[in-house]
Amino acid sequence: MTDQLHFETLAIHAGQQPDPATGAVMTPIYQTSTFVQDGVGDHKGYEYARTGNPTRTALEACLAALEGASHGLCFASGMAAIDTLLKLIKPGQHVLAADDVYGGTYRLFVRVLSDYGLQFDFVDMADLKAVAAAIKPNTRLIWVETPTNPHLKIIDLAALAEIGRAHNLQVAVDNTFASPYLQQPISLGADFVIHSTTKYIGGHSDVIGGAILTNDAAAYERLKFLQNTIGAVPGPMDCFLTLRGIKTLPLRMERHSTNAQKIAEFLADHPGVKKVMYPGLSDHPNHAVAKKQMRLFGGMISFLPVGDAATAKRIVERTKIFALAESLGGVESLIELPAPMTHASVAGSLLEVDPTLIRLSVGIENVDDLIADLQQALSGK
Ligand SMILES: *Cc1c(COP(=O)(O)O)cnc(C)c1O
């Protein structure tokens, strides 16, 4: 039935029915570790809550529907989802990753999984020729994020999936920055979508979580086995909070995007700003690709102020509504300096970030208040 429904309807209903026992409209928080069996092996689909929990099942089904996938699996964090997906790759095999990946992903690939014999290379995937040239005989997976963090580069997912198919490789897309409302990688040819549901999907900065969505039934069976075997699963309360957040995802993404567009235009015109990175600006190098594959351009903006690292530090410490904090995707606006904060773990690596770069996670407050706040922070008075 859910196939014909629109995204906004799926966000509220997919995977969820009124509770059969009580009629509760919202999926209950099944706060239990185990489930009684009527006879040995005779149960209602649940035995032990690491293996499966009904609140988690509802979230997994809802996220799968939103990404246009047949299968979903949820995890205790975005990193747990990424680590579990990478367990599909064996020692001696090679992963080609974008050069602008999330810092925690880079750290996992280079400082943990490399010790177990997995091989990684990082290329600028906005350059599709460079991607094709970097594929090796033992490459098994292409790993990409778009928009990227913190440079807001846009990578052409349909073209990347084409390269993957031509070389018989699978493509995994970390869709955290866009959310499924703005971009659906599986419909563009990707094999796996990964989320940190901590960000836009949860949307209220009150829960950590991750997910993998796929149409590949064989990979799903293996990933489900890994989910149960490794055990990095989210608790039912976390699943409930995430499901609750998802119901307003379309409304929030609309407001995040319209607010961010106005703020990006304000910053682009400001004499104290050298460069603005936002895919919704017509001078963004991949604006055309963004327009083709995204519904709107999202809530993340990066910019370089005129001045040095001390200037940038003063600006981020001077905002009053934009809170100085890591993370992103919540209803409240955040500001940060990636170099010493979110991207500190990649200092000295090829992912190193300009120390003056400022990143905004634009919230859903009134945009005039947000612009006034940035105006006073940039004016330095
Ligand atoms: C936050 C984030 C992650 C990691 O997710 P956690 O929930 O913090 O473990 C992965 N990818 C991207 C793009 C992120 O922003």
The answer, yes or no, to whether any atom of ligand 1 lies below 6 A from the CB of 145, is yes
* CATH value at residue 326: 3.90.1150.10
pLDDT truncated to tens, each residue of the chain (381 aa)? 445 899 999 999 999 999 989 999 999 999 999 999 999 989 999 999 999 999 999 999 999 999 999 999 999 999 999 999 999 999 999 999 999 899 899 999 999 999 999 999 999 999 999 999 999 999 999 999 999 999 999 999 999 999 999 999 999 999 999 999 999 999 999 999 999 999 999 999 999 999 999 999 999 999 999 999 999 999 999 999 999 999 999 999 999 999 999 999 999 999 999 999 999 999 999 999 999 999 999 999 999 999 999 999 999 999 999 999 999 999 999 999 999 998 888 888 878 899 999 999 999 999 999 999 999 999 975
Same domain, 193 and 317: no
Task: Please identify, among 246, 261, 281, the residue that sits at the C-terminal boundary of a domain.
Answer: 246
3-state secondary structure of 213: strand
Same domain, 263 and 198: no
Q: How far apart are CA 92 and CA 139, in angstroms?
A: 9
Residue 11 vs residues 57, 247, 330: alpha-carbon distances, Å: 15, 5, 17
Residue 338 neighbours by CB under 8 Å, 6+ apart? 150, 302, 353, 357, 359
Which residue's C-alpha comes closest to atom 5 of ligand 1?
Answer: 78
The answer, yes or no, to whether any atom of ligand 1 lies below 6 A from the CB of 176, is yes
Contact assessment for residue 322 and residue 361, using Cβ atoms and an 8 Å cutoff:
no
Same domain, 142 and 162: yes
Q: How far is the CA of 199 from the centre of ligand 1 (A)?
A: 8
83, 99, 100, 174: which is the annotated catalytic residue?
174
Residue 121: domain span:
2-246
Task: Please identify, among 192, 220, 246, the residue that sits at the C-terminal boundary of a domain.
Answer: 246
Same domain, 354 and 288: yes
Q: Which of 63, 108, 176 to mutate to test the pocket of ligand 1 (most atoms within 8 A of CB)?
A: 176
Q: Is 199 a catalytic residue?
A: yes
Q: How far apart are CA 48 and CA 118, in angstroms?
A: 32
Same domain, 275 and 368: yes
Same domain, 207 and 275: no
Same domain, 81 and 213: yes
Which pair of structure tokens corresponds to residue 250?
A: 């379309």
Q: How far apart are CA 143 and CA 52, in angstroms?
A: 28
Task: Please identify, among 207, 224, 246, the residue that sits at the C-terminal boundary of a domain.
Answer: 246
Q: Is 102 a catalytic residue?
A: yes
Number of domains composing the chain: 2
Residue 210 vs residues 48, 84, 87, 240: alpha-carbon distances, Å: 20, 11, 16, 13
Same domain, 85 and 193: yes
Long-range contact pairs involving 108-111 (C-beta distance under 8 Å, separation at least 24): 108/79, 108/82, 108/83, 109/143, 110/349
pTM attached to this predicted model: 0.96
140, 153, 199, 318: which is the annotated catalytic residue?
199
